[in-house]
Every structure is written in structure tokens, then in C-alpha cells.
Amino acid sequence: MTDGDSCGSHHCITCGDDGVPMTVVRVDLARGLALCQQADGTRSTVEIALIDAVEPRDMLLVHAGTALARLEPAA
């Protein structure tokens, strides 16, 4: 087994899939969902229960339809 840094920051160590960076377009707090968009314009609904205070324009790391982490904007 290799150390975590060799997999990259967007890689799921459990199943081997990659997380997808997505931008929040709209938030539905009552349902715990957000409409998010990938860089190529593809949109999908994402569960946001694991992330505190999601707002439009936030960048999230999404895997299997669930936001796993908030991403910091590029400097």
C-alpha cells in the first residue's frame, strides 16, 4: 500500500474512483441538496449533508452524488 499523497487529492481510497470538483449553482436546504455544475457545464443534484453552510459559488469535491469536502479556490 502506498501513502495517501501518491493517489492525488481527488481520489477515493475506498473504491478507487475520482472525486469531481463541482461549483454550487443553487441550494435546497430543506432537502439537503444542491444543484452543482462541473467545469464542462454538466449539472447534477448533490447531497450536501456532510458539508456545513453550502452557498452558491462554493466549490465542492463530489463523489457518488455526495459532497465530501469544500475545495479552496485556486490562488
d(CA 69, CA 66): 9
Predicted model pTM: 0.76
Q: What is the CATH class of 19-71?
A: mainly beta
From start to end of 5-42, where are the E strands? 20-28, 33-37
Quick one: average pLDDT of 55-72? 95
Euclidean distance between CA atoms 15 and 23, whole angstroms: 23
Q: Across residues 18-26, what is the average pLDDT?
A: 94
Residue 65: pLDDT band with limits 50, 70, 90: very high
Predicted pLDDT of residue 72: 87
Contact 35, 43 (CB under 8 A): yes
**In which band, very low, low, confident or very high, does the pLDDT at 39 lie, cut at 50, 70 and 90?**
very high
Q: Which of 15-24, 29-38, 46-55 has the lowest mean pLDDT?
A: 15-24
